[in-house]
Each structure stands twice: as C-alpha cells, then as structure tokens.
C-alpha cells in the first residue's frame, strides 16, 4: 500500500477507534455492573486489536504517519 492509501486507511481506523472509545462511555450507562464490564472489556479488546494489527502495520510500513513518533 502506498503512503496515500495508508494515510486514508489510517484516518478511517482512527475514527473507528474514536467511535469505539465513545461506545465505552455509553456502555457505562447500561445494564448491570457485570454487563457493563463485559461490554467495556470487549470494546477495549477491539480497540487494542485495531491498533496493534492494523495501525501498527501502517506505522511499520509508513513511520512518517505515526502522530506520536518522536514526541
């Protein structure tokens, strides 16, 4: 994937992570404590997988797209 394609994909993945993070806040308002914990854990797992498997691959191929690099 070229840098332009990687940048476009990263933007979508960043938005997906942002939306999943927002869903964690919503999860705090539903159901029992056990249900909330289960939902939060599942959403956290999804965020971690998107970051590690997809965003990490983009950064390894295009380190210049890493917003936190060098900070």
Cα–Cα distance for residue pair 43/41, rounded to 1 Å? 6
Mind listing the pLDDT tens digit of every residue in the chain (71 residues)?
Answer: 999 999 999 999 999 999 999 999 898 888 889 999 999 999 999 999 999 999 999 999 999 999 877 65
Residue 29: what pLDDT?
Answer: 85
Residue 69: what pLDDT?
Answer: 75
Cα–Cα distance for residue pair 52/46, rounded to 1 Å? 10
pTM score, whole prediction: 0.84
């Amino acid at each position: 994937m070229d840098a332009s394609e990687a940048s476009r994909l990263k933007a979508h993945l960043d938005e997906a992570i942002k939306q999943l993070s927002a869903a964690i806040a919503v999860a705090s308002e539903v159901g029992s404590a056990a249900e909330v914990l289960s939902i939060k854990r599942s959403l956290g797992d999804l965020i971690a997988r998107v970051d590690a498997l997809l965003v990490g691959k983009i950064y390894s191929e295009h380190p210049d797209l890493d917003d936190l690099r060098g900070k």
